[in-house]
């Protein structure tokens, strides 16, 4: 190297002068990433580890737009959790009329009997200091066929399915795990141990059915033949709150359709208890058909043609929630 001594010292000085500020930046980044609780990755799930991220903190900090704010009501309990839980009278009247019944006088007795068989208490009460909930809500749309979403669905820690959802033979497209299965007596299926049966009650008799199907088997018929006994983990049964049902109809589907579809009920349940939501199996397939993924006949069981739910409105609502950043919508 041909440099005069003074020149060399100057060059060396120039080369080293940026080191202290760089060290400061690195130190700050290390502090920022590892020690600052508000900014550590809030959605990271570390199961079985001592470090449990605090998702609740993240949830309350999420930005709310006026569109969302106008509709969202966090004070309404998604689940019915106690026999003496107050269901406001206007909710009760609406809910009973769904199936043409007016008399709620037996409700306290029915709830008392039910909570002798299914657990009371809310497993989702804790909003702070709890592991994060990454949820996949899996509808039954034919658009899942050939999707190869199976692995992606299974990567969530909570997986919601509903009604007659099938897994065997469809794993590559729909995944193989389920943590919550939403159903009503007429759509009921047997469940493996450890899965939450989430009863969506459309009528008083549905509350009596779950009690019966898990104990005496006295109910065999509602408006059609139903399962007399259901194989399910009694300790994991959850009951959807009629007040939450009405809230979705009033605030979200805004009276489009007679009442929201089971898929909508599962999706808004997720919106209230999950930190991150992915939605699969909702809407028409790419040819505009509304059948289920296990059906070859595109008109069979077509969700849209029941006329009870407003399929187009429900699809648009999911799109709006996706645009708001509330969920990821896989089609
Ligand atoms: O038909 P079923 O109610 O069992 O399907 C479960 C849910 O999946 C529906 O309630 C609806 O929300 C959604 N679905 C859909 N498009 C279809 C079929 C079902 O969005 N073609």
In three-state secondary structure terms, 232 is coil
CATH of residue 143's domain is: 3.90.1480.20
Q: How many domains does the chain have?
A: 2
How do residues 284-320 score in pLDDT, each as one tens digit? 988 888 899 999 877 776 777 777 899 999 999 999 9
Ordered DSSP codes for 237-279: -EEE-HHHHHHIIIIISTT-BSS--HHHHHHHHHHHH-SEEEE
If you average pLDDT over residues 210-231, what whole number do you get?
97
The residue with greater pLDDT, 20 or 118, is: 118
CB of 211 closer than 6 angstroms to any ligand 1 atom? no
Mean pLDDT, the chain, whole residue set:
86
CB of 283 closer than 6 angstroms to any ligand 1 atom? yes
What pLDDT score does 44 carry?
Answer: 34
- pLDDT confidence bin for 1, thresholds 50/70/90: very low
**Whether pLDDT at 222 is above 70:** yes
Residues 206 and 297 placed together within one structural domain of the fold: yes
Q: Could you identify the atom of ligand 1 that is nearest to the CA of residue 264?
A: 12
Contact 114, 211 (CB under 8 A): yes
Q: Partners of 279 in the beta sheet?
A: 137, 329
Residues 221 and 100 placed together within one structural domain of the fold: yes
Query: What's the DSSP call for residue 195?
Result: P
Ligand 1 centroid to residue 282 C-alpha, Å: 6
- Separation CA 34–CA 295 (nearest Å): 50
What pLDDT score does 5 carry?
Answer: 52
| Best of 137, 139, 306 for a ligand 1 pocket test (most atoms within 8 Å of beta carbon) | 139
Of all protein residues, the one whose alpha carbon is nearest to atom 15 of ligand 1 is 282
Residues 10 and 95 placed together within one structural domain of the fold: no
What pLDDT score does 35 carry?
Answer: 39
**Whether pLDDT at 22 is above 90:** no
Q: What are phi and psi of 240, to 5 degrees?
A: -65, 135
Ligand 1 centroid to residue 231 C-alpha, Å: 23
Ligand 1 centroid to residue 273 C-alpha, Å: 21
Q: Which of 68, 82, 52, 79 is nearest to 273 (CA)?
A: 79
- Classify residue 52: in a domain, yes or no: no
Residues 6+ apart with CB under 8 A from 153: 136, 138, 159, 174, 175, 177, 278, 280
Contact 234, 215 (CB under 8 A): no
Residues 18 and 99 placed together within one structural domain of the fold: no
Residues 30 and 156 placed together within one structural domain of the fold: no
How do residues 113-158 score in pLDDT, each as one tens digit? 999 999 999 999 887 778 899 999 999 999 999 999 999 999 999 9
How do residues 241-251 score in pLDDT, each as one tens digit? 999 999 999 99
- Separation CA 258–CA 237 (nearest Å): 27
CB of 162 closer than 6 angstroms to any ligand 1 atom? yes
Q: Which of 267, 230, 226 is nearest to 245 (CA)?
A: 267
Ligand 1 centroid to residue 297 C-alpha, Å: 15
Residues 22 and 129 placed together within one structural domain of the fold: no
Ligand 1 centroid to residue 237 C-alpha, Å: 22
- Classify residue 209: in a domain, yes or no: yes
This prediction's pTM? 0.84
Of all protein residues, the one whose alpha carbon is nearest to atom 7 of ligand 1 is 263
Contact 217, 210 (CB under 8 A): no
Residues 9 and 146 placed together within one structural domain of the fold: no
| b/e per residue 20-57 (b: at least 16 CB within 10 A) | eeeeeeeeeeeeeeeeeeeeeebeebeeeeeeebbbbe
Residues 29 and 70 placed together within one structural domain of the fold: no
If you average pLDDT over residues 182-200, what whole number do you get?
98
CB of 139 closer than 6 angstroms to any ligand 1 atom? yes
What pLDDT score does 7 carry?
Answer: 54
- Classify residue 56: in a domain, yes or no: no
Q: Could you identify the atom of ligand 1 that is nearest to the CA of residue 290?
A: 21
CB of 261 closer than 6 angstroms to any ligand 1 atom? yes
**Residues with catalytic roles:** 259, 309
Residues 14 and 74 placed together within one structural domain of the fold: no
What pLDDT score does 24 carry?
Answer: 57
- Classify residue 53: in a domain, yes or no: no
CB of 257 closer than 6 angstroms to any ligand 1 atom? no
Residues 13 and 140 placed together within one structural domain of the fold: no
- Classify residue 319: in a domain, yes or no: yes
Ligand 1 centroid to residue 48 C-alpha, Å: 35
Contact 150, 168 (CB under 8 A): no
Helix (H) or strand (E) holding 197: strand 196-199
- Classify residue 54: in a domain, yes or no: no
Residues 80 and 20 placed together within one structural domain of the fold: no
- Separation CA 108–CA 204 (nearest Å): 11
List the domain range (segments joined by +) for residue 13: 2-34
- Classify residue 84: in a domain, yes or no: yes
CB of 143 closer than 6 angstroms to any ligand 1 atom? no
Ordered DSSP codes for 134-168: EEEEE--BGGGTT---HHHHHTSSEEEEETT---T
How do residues 57-88 score in pLDDT, each as one tens digit? 555 546 679 999 999 999 999 999 998 888 99
Torsion sign across C-alpha atoms 111, 112, 118, 122:
positive
Helix (H) or strand (E) holding 328: strand 328-329
């Amino acid at each position: 190297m041909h440099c005069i001594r003074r020149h060399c010292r100057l060059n060396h000085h120039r080369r080293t002068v940026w080191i202290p500020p760089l060290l400061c930046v690195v130190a700050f980044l290390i502090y920022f990433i590892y020690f600052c609780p508000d900014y550590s990755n809030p959605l990271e799930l570390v199961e079985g580890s001592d470090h449990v991220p605090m998702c609740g903190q993240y949830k309350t900090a999420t930005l709310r737009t006026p569109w969302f704010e106008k509709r969202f009501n966090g004070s309404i309990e998604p689940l019915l959790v106690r026999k003496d839980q107050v269901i406001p009278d206007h909710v009760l009247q609406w809910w009973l009329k769904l199936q043409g019944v007016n008399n709620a006088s037996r409700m306290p007795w029915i709830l008392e009997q039910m909570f002798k068989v299914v657990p009371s208490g809310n497993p989702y009460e804790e909003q702070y200091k709890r592991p994060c909930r990454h949820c996949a809500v899996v509808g039954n749309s034919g658009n899942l066929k050939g999707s190869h979403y199976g692995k992606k669905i299974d990567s969530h820690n909570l997986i919601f399915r509903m009604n007659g959802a099938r897994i065997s033979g469809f794993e590559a497209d729909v995944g193989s795990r389920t943590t919550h299965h939403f159903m009503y007596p007429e759509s009921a299926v047997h469940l493996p141990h450890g899965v939450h049966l989430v009863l969506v009650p459309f009528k008083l008799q549905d509350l009596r059915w779950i009690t019966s199907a898990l104990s005496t088997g006295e109910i065999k018929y509602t408006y059609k033949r139903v399962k007399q006994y259901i194989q399910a983990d009694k300790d994991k049964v959850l009951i959807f709150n009629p007040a939450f049902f009405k809230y979705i109809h009033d605030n979200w589907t805004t009276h489009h359709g007679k009442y929201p579809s089971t898929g909508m009920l599962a999706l808004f349940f997720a919106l209230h208890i999950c930190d991150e939501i992915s939605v699969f199996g909702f809407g028409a397939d790419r040819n505009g058909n509304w059948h289920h993924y296990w059906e070859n006949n595109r008109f069979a069981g077509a969700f849209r043609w029941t006329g009870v739910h407003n399929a187009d409105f429900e699809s648009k609502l999911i799109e709006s929630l996706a645009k708001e950043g509330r969920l990821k919508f896989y089609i």
